[in-house]
Chain A
């Protein structure tokens, strides 16, 4: 399918996306380069929730920022609704940003502590040069705050007067202010208690239905991703290991399997003996010619150390990058 076709099923298409960071360098010391995101190709289907899951350092948050062009890609392209983001001018990009917004992990730092909630909610309009009369602004802010299930009486409050869950609701309301079609959710519930996490997920589900949104949901919590997402992308050291087309599909990649195996079900009758992965996550600065997981994989062979497995389609959109997939 041609990614530049706006009628495509995918709202966002990533092609060979790579982002490098380098550090160090100095007298007699070479600069070191790491690939936080390494050759990632991925479609984000319209109206669906695409989940990206992986452990710390797997590049999921860098990916989130690349998708919104909050970071420039080193190589590769991001096509949003038929438009290549890298070729958009500043002005065009600003217009496009109305359609693509982000909800951040830490609602404590995402809102200016000196702003009232009302001002925080109206900030997106101000940034976009969208001047509103006092009456219009009042209406817009009230609509947004009720949309996320907060009491309009909170409008005059400051962020420190709100709980974590309430602040994250404000974060979501701000992201929705400009009526975007696409939201990148970067661990939106990671700093919240479970009873509040479930509230926020419930809210996000309802908003998606009401507003016809498309989500890219970044998380380290596999059980949450499997509940909330239509497709699950498993990343490891900057690379896509496996794409599960549905939440019920069992992983066949050894890493994805280990990740699932490490996930404890809230059910004492289903305790498990965890198969322990040997070894540690390699340094992100290491250049790995073969499979990134080979060093810890129980099924690794010479081939895995030598050659990087391509992301191959097993059918029905189940993609896997493994030379020796599990049965």
Chain B
């Protein structure tokens, strides 16, 4: 049984339904990529898994989120609190939102292991120093004493990762962890995270809009479009034989080395607004393969030759 299994969840916020029938699983030692453009529901999915949906006034109207045998949607807030930070950790896009600017870096990492693992102050500090060193930050002792503003963005994001690891979680949800960073720093952080997953047998849910990052790091991919799963497959198939036209087009939008000038075309049209989702398949107005059926009936997420896709016309 998978460590985390998101089963057919739908979300409503007021009159809006930003997520519909989202399904996927993550196993230990696996990096699952959750990709899509803005408004596709990536971050909202992360909030569901973290049990933070009520904070923004949302509710899960259908489905279950089973983590290690327990349905998170039915757990009381107190139970969720015990899981959050301890067994499920979150890394957000902007490290500054996760760090308190007036508390030393060390104290912030220490408190995770004192709170969740019940370590003494000394033991917590030793653990923090070890974690800082593991993330290849030079001079861990100096960093332990520093304040967040004394560190660069890349360093801060590594500290946030150290905090996420401090309680030895089983699952890390990383929401665009490198989007705010420069490319050379991004490459390092992605590499470090991939190593951690391999070495510690963690499960990582990596939310990103960057297909380059997905290709580099993920084992399996869920492609979201306008609040629904368009496709889910292993990494090789996603790139070599995409089953959904949206996945195919999304990959074509990224310039490759040596690509002919003038051959880069976007996907026509715009991502539909949540108040104005089209009938049938939500991608149909932008899809070059769309036919009458696509405008009339919503395609179900079905098993194809490999993986799952929600398209009436994708080959087997």
Chain B residues bordering chain A, tally (CB within 8 A): 47
A267 with B256: CB separation less than 8 A: yes
Chain A residues bordering chain B, tally (CB within 8 A): 46
Give every chain B residue within 8 A of A194 (Cβ-Cβ).
37, 209, 211, 250, 253-254
**Which residues of B in the span 203-250 have a Cβ within 8 Å of any Cβ on A?**
209-216, 218, 235-236, 238-239, 249-250
Give the A-B contact count at a CB cut-off of 8 A: 136
Q: Determine whether A143 belongs to the interface, using a CB cutoff of 8 Å to chain B.
A: no
Give every chain B residue within 8 A of A271 (Cβ-Cβ).
215-216
- Quick one: which of A195, A221, A261, A269 contacts B267, CB cutoff 8 A? A195
Q: Determine whether B47 belongs to the interface, using a CB cutoff of 8 Å to chain A.
A: no
Give every chain B residue within 8 A of A276 (Cβ-Cβ).
136, 187-188, 191
B212 with A198: CB separation less than 8 A: no
B251 with A262: CB separation less than 8 A: no
Q: Determine whether B48 belongs to the interface, using a CB cutoff of 8 Å to chain A.
A: no
Report A157 CB to chain B, min CB distance, Å. Answer: 14
- Contacts A195-B249, A195-B266, A265-B257 known; A273 to B191 CB distance under 8 Å? yes
Q: Determine whether A74 belongs to the interface, using a CB cutoff of 8 Å to chain B.
A: no
Give every chain B residue within 8 A of A273 (Cβ-Cβ).
191
A201 with B212: CB separation less than 8 A: no
Give every chain B residue within 8 A of A166 (Cβ-Cβ).
270
A259 with B184: CB separation less than 8 A: yes
A268 and B212 CA atoms in complex are apart in Å by 8
- Contacts A165-B270, A195-B267, A223-B212 known; A266 to B256 CB distance under 8 Å? yes
Q: Determine whether B142 belongs to the interface, using a CB cutoff of 8 Å to chain A.
A: no
> Which residue among B38, B191, B211, B254 has the maximum number of chain A CB atoms within 10 Å of its CB?
B254
Q: Determine whether B52 belongs to the interface, using a CB cutoff of 8 Å to chain A.
A: no
Give every chain A residue within 8 A of B292 (Cβ-Cβ).
none
Give every chain A residue within 8 A of B271 (Cβ-Cβ).
163, 193, 195
Give every chain B residue within 8 A of A222 (Cβ-Cβ).
183
Give every chain A residue within 8 A of B187 (Cβ-Cβ).
261-264, 274, 276
Residues of A within 8 A of B (CB): 55-56, 163, 165-166, 193-202, 205, 220-224, 226-228, 247-248, 258-259, 261-274, 276-277, 280-281
